[in-house]
Amino acid sequence: MYNIVTKRELVPHINLFEFSAKEIAVKTKPGQFIILRVNEKGERIPLTMADVDPEKGTITVVCHEVGKSTRQLGQLEEGDCILDLLGPLGKPAEIGKFGIVLCIGGGVMVAPLYFQAKALHEAGNKVIGGIGARTENQLIFENEMREVCDEFYVATDDGTRGYKGLGFLEELLKERKIDRVITMGPILMMKKVSELTRPYSVPTIVNLIPIMVDGMGMCGACRVTVGGRTLFACVDGPDFDGHQVDFEELMTRLKMYSPQEKLAFVFYEEGGSSL
Ligand SMILES: Cc1cc2nc3c(=O)[nH]c(=O)nc-3n(C[C@H](O)[C@H](O)[C@H](O)COP(=O)(O)OP(=O)(O)OC[C@H]3O[C@@H](n4cnc5c(N)ncnc54)[C@H](O)[C@@H]3O)c2cc1C
Ligand code: FES
């Protein structure tokens, strides 16, 4: 059993959890993820780590409640326990000295992007941060990102705060020499970022989070096509070259179980528990 040391609601339905998990905390590098189960009947929930504290023996994740399992997790409180926690999984993000690195995050994935941005900053890069959300009151981890970025931009889809959409990226690409772009967030956003950087030949790393089951390369659920090759996001990624990813296929695969997911959520919200 793993204990919830801290739970904090960042915005409605997006919670930060700090779990006591010393053996994972000491091994984790930015970009890696865990898979947890709330209870014996619980589905496996992959979450990318947003920070670790090896001395305290804790890991931090931020979870958006989008369906039944994430809602179940969101209903737990400090002091509660979850059944199991597997990790660290996936390849660590490449943290090198690249020069000017632009870190673009959207929605809940701004939290794990912070972990990478912090490491890139510590490695001596000039880090430019750009974070976004659908609307102003959905923005998370703004202060954390500001702390590790040398320059910082905010954007919202509806224009309620900062730039509307990715206008800041277009301006930066035209005016500056960017050495590397790292993007984590909704697929459509990562696809758009990759399309914008392609004409400038800026290496662009995207973080792919397809449906996963075992997280260890055995079930094939997380397969993605990158550069015409079939790869498994859980062991070959989750970071890939954004200019090589087949985003259309990824989007189609993510919608594969939508009817069942909607049904499970409705049933759970109405008081059922076993779907
Ligand atoms: C490696 C990895 C890391 C992840 N990191 C985080 C994280 O740090 N924070 C976080 O909040 N979520 C993260 N996710 C997504 C999270 O695991 C899913 O949202 C969760 O498992 C959904 O479970 P559910 O039963 O609540 O919803 P479901 O009933 O399974 O799905 C509800 C809705 O969410 C969509 N959905 C489900 N899984 C995904 C996914 N992987 N990507 C996009 N949409 C999805 C479905 O299409 C559906 O519309 C990560 C996923 C992976 C594979
Ligand atoms: S989740 Fe099973 S192979 Fe990646």
Alpha-carbon Rg for the chain in angstroms: 18
Atom number of ligand 2 nearest to Cα 218: 3
Q: Which ligand ends up closest to the CA of 185?
A: 1
pLDDT at 155: 95
Strand segments (E) across 142-249: 151-156, 163-164, 180-184, 204-207, 223-226, 229-232, 239-241
What CATH architecture does domain 93-206 belong to? Answer: 3-Layer(aba) Sandwich (3.40)
User: Distance, CA 122 to ligand 2 centroid (Å)?
Assistant: 32
Strand segments (E) across 107-242: 126-133, 151-156, 163-164, 180-184, 204-207, 223-226, 229-232, 239-241
261 touches ligand 1 (CB under 6 Å): yes
Q: What is the residue extent of each domain of the chain?
A: 2-89, 93-206
Q: Which ligand ends up closest to the CA of 209?
A: 1
What is the tens place of the pLDDT at every residue in 173-200?
Answer: 999 999 999 999 999 999 999 999 999 9
pLDDT at 42: 84
What is the tens place of the pLDDT at every residue in 19-78?
Answer: 999 999 999 999 999 999 999 888 999 999 999 999 999 999 999 999 989 999 999 999
Atom number of ligand 1 nearest to Cα 111: 8
Q: Report the predicted TM-score, pTM, of the whole model to 2 decimal places.
A: 0.93
User: From the CB of residue 121, how many other CB atoms can be counted at a distance below 10 Å?
Assistant: 18
Could you give the CA distance from residue 39 to residue 222 in angstroms, rounded to a whole number? 23
Confidence band, pLDDT 50/70/90 cuts, at residue 265: low
Residues 118-123 have a mean pLDDT of 98
Could you give the CA distance from residue 261 to residue 233 in angstroms, rounded to a whole number? 21
| Nearest CA owner, ligand 1 atom 45 | 254
| Nearest CA owner, ligand 2 atom 3 | 217
Average pLDDT, the chain: 93
pLDDT at 262: 56
Q: Which ligand ends up closest to the CA of 45?
A: 1
Q: Which two tokens stand for residue 145?
A: 């990102």
Are 115 and 207 in contact by the 8 Å Cβ rule? The answer is: no
Confidence band, pLDDT 50/70/90 cuts, at residue 271: low
For the structural domain made of 2-89, what CATH number should be given?
A: 2.40.30.10
User: Distance, CA 127 to ligand 2 centroid (Å)?
Assistant: 32
